[in-house]
Amino acid sequence: MSTRSSFRAGLFDGAKATAPLLPAAASIGLVTGVAATAVGLPPGQAVSMSVAFYSPIVMLTALNLLQSGAPPAVVVLGSLLVGARFAMLSLSISPYLERLSTGWRWVLAYFLLTPTYVLSVERYESRPETSRHGFYLGTAIPGWVTLQASFLFGIGFGTSVPSRWQLGFVVQLAFIALLMRFLSDRADAVAALTAGVLAVLAANFPLGTGLLVAITGGVAAGEWVRRLEVT
Amino acid sequence: MAGEAVDGGLLWTLIALVGAGTFALRLSFLQLRGLVDEFPPALERPLSYLPVAVLAAIVFPALFTLDGTPGGVINVRVFAASLAVVVAWRTRSVVATIVVGMGVLWTATFLFG
């Protein structure tokens, strides 16, 4: 098989693999769009944010912090802390992509999200002959288009709803849903609870130091519980 | 509202910084391949708690804090959020969580507001 046709086959297989996940992507995109208008972002900034971040969870973090009136530096810091797990995905998938050119690696890096990561690694392991960039892009492009299109619908919906509907609450509810998804064991739950309680207690610490105290405390508590369970 | 708290130019700077930052995090090891073979285990586990700690540290004060001081007021939103936690935990569905949370908020506002 020539390189070009295996690239195309990879694209096609990737798209097929990602199809079952598209409804979920559409719903999260819709919710993020509603959240962006609820926080009061103008459509231009909202769309730029959605394209630049390409991560609903990083975006919802930024929106939450903006809504609670956090200083801009804290918004940037909090969003990047949530995005830190991308570095882990990046490291974990890097062996499979090392033969690709720098240009391709930059393109693929932009599209790195958990579903694309999971589907691609699974495929590279089960069928090593798969076109690496073909399959990866095949999973990523439909996901990107679905997310951005549903985001636009969310903006349209959010702006057409009167303010007495209190849509701002969607920002927190979406966050709660994502938080519960991330909780996988007791250590996670302790980390979350500790961070949450500390954040409330430290709410009037200056310039986001309360947030840092809460996050550090939560991570330490999670690690402490894990060690107790191991020994 | 963001439009009031952060002015236009600052908002664009913020979008550019977080956008560039998330891209750099994604590209990091694709580009630095060979420098590090595996994630330092001492960092890996604390990093795994990071998302839940950050999310909780942001959402708790939004629910339980009034005017920047710990309030702990049991209001309609706290009640709606508590039910949303249960729904999110049982269903793992973002849509179901939001439908139930907003439904409770609207019903309670209608009845008591």
pLDDT score, position B5: 52
Partner residue facing A87 (CB), from B18, B28, B109: B28
> Which residues of chain A does B55 touch, with a Cβ-Cβ cutoff of 8 Å?
61, 82, 175, 178-179, 182, 192
Lowest mean pLDDT, pick from A105-119, A176-190, B41-55, B67-81: B67-81
Mutate to test the interface with A, among B7, B13, B17, B25 (most CBs of A within 10 A): B25
Q: What is the pLDDT of residue A57?
A: 93
Query: What pLDDT score does A208 carry?
Result: 77
At residue A68, the pLDDT reads 86
Is residue B72 over pLDDT 70?
no
Q: Which of A112, A176, A204, A226 should one mutate to test binding to chain B, selecting the residue with the greatest count of B CBs within 10 A?
A: A176
pLDDT over 70 at B34, yes or no: no
pLDDT greater at residue A95 or residue B70: A95
Least confident of A100-104, A118-122, A154-158, B62-66: B62-66
Instruction: Return d(Cα A107, Cα A97) in angstroms, integer.
Output: 12
DSSP per-residue string spanning chain A: --HHHHHHHHHHHHHHHHGGGHHHHHHHHHHHHHHHHHHT--HHHHHHHHHHH--HHHHHHHHHHHHTT--HHHHHHHHHHHHTHHHHHHHHHHHHHTTS-HHHHHHHHHT--HHHHHHHHHHHHH-TTS-HHHHHHHHHHHHHHHHHHHHHHHHHHHHHS-GGG-TTHHHHHHHHHHHHHH--SHHHHHHHHHHHHHHHHTTTSGGGHHHHHHHHHHHHHHHHHHHHHH-
CA–CA min distance A16, chain B (Å): 23
Smallest CA–CA distance, residue B69 to chain A, in Å, is 6
**Partners of residue B106 in chain A, C-beta under 8 Å:** 165-166
Q: How many CB pairs under 8 A join A and B?
A: 277
Residue of B nearest to A51 (CA): B19
What percentage of chain B has pLDDT greater than the value 90? Answer: 43
Instruction: List the beta bridge partners of residue B70.
Output: B65
Of A19, A30, A225, A2, residue with least CA distance to A141:
A19
Task: Looking at the complex, report in whole angstroms how far the Cα of residue A219 sits from the nearest Cα belonging to chain B.
Answer: 5
State pLDDT tens for residues A61-112: 999 999 988 899 999 999 999 999 899 899 889 999 989 999 999 999 999 9
**A185 vs A51, higher pLDDT:** A51
Which pLDDT band, with edges at 50, 70 and 90, does B76 fall under?
Answer: confident
Whether B93 has its CB under 8 Å from any CB of chain A: the answer is yes
Residue B62: its pLDDT value, please? 83
The neighbour count for residue B29, using CB atoms within 10 Å, is 24
Range list of β-strands (E), B1-113: 65-66, 69-70
- Per-residue confidence at B66, pLDDT binned at 50, 70, 90? low
The yes-or-no verdict on residue B69 having pLDDT over 60 is no
The partner residue sitting opposite A200, judged by closest CB among B3, B65, B94, is: B65
- List the single residue in A39, A170, A183 with the smallest CB-CB distance to B1: A39
pLDDT tier for residue B85 given thresholds of 50, 70 and 90: very high
Q: What is the ipTM of this complex?
A: 0.91
**Residue A116 scores a pLDDT above 60:** yes
Q: Spell out the long-range contacts of A160-167 with Cβ–Cβ below 8 A and sequence spacing 24 or more.
A: A165/B106, A166/B102, A166/B105, A166/B106, A166/B109, A167/A34, A167/A37, A167/A38, A167/B102
- The Cα–Cα gap between A181 and B64 comes to 21
- To the nearest whole number, what is the mean pLDDT of chain B? 82
Collect all residues of chain B within an 8 Å Cβ-Cβ radius of residue A229: none
Report, as an integer, the average pLDDT of A211-227: 93
Q: Cα separation of B53 and A195, whole Å?
A: 5
Does the pTM surpass 0.80? The reply is yes
Per-residue pLDDT at A15: 97
Residue B1 has pLDDT above 70, yes or no: no
Q: What is the pLDDT of residue A101?
A: 93
pLDDT band per the 50, 70, 90 thresholds, residue B6:
low
pLDDT at residue number A11: 97
Among chain B residues, CA nearest to A222: B49
Measured between CA atoms, how close is B67 to chain A, in angstroms? 9
Interface test with A, best of B6, B7, B17, B18 (most A CBs within 10 A): B18
* CB-based contact A45:B40 (threshold 8 Å): no
CA A88/CA A172 separation, integer angstroms: 26
Q: Do A196 and B57 touch (CB under 8 A)?
A: yes
Q: How many CB atoms lie within 10 A of CB A72?
A: 17
Vertex B48: Cα angle to B42 and B51 (nearest 5): 135
B71: confidence class by pLDDT, cuts 50, 70, 90: very low
Cα A159 to chain centroid distance, Å, stands at 24
CA distance B104 to A166: 12
Do the beta carbons of residue A142 and residue A18 sit within 8 Å? yes
Token pair in block for residue B15 = 């979008």
Q: How do residues A17-66 score in pLDDT, each as one tens digit?
A: 999 999 999 999 999 999 999 999 999 999 999 999 999 999 999 999 99
Q: Give me the phi and psi of A194, to 5 degrees please.
A: -60, -50
Number of H helices, E strands in chain B: 5, 2
- Rounded mean pLDDT of B43-52? 83
Mean predicted confidence (pLDDT) in A197-214: 87
Contacts of B28 (CB under 8 A, 6+ apart): A86, A87, A90, A91
Q: Which two tokens stand for residue A103?
A: 């240009």
Share of chain A above pLDDT 90, in %: 77
Mean pLDDT, all residues of chain A? 92
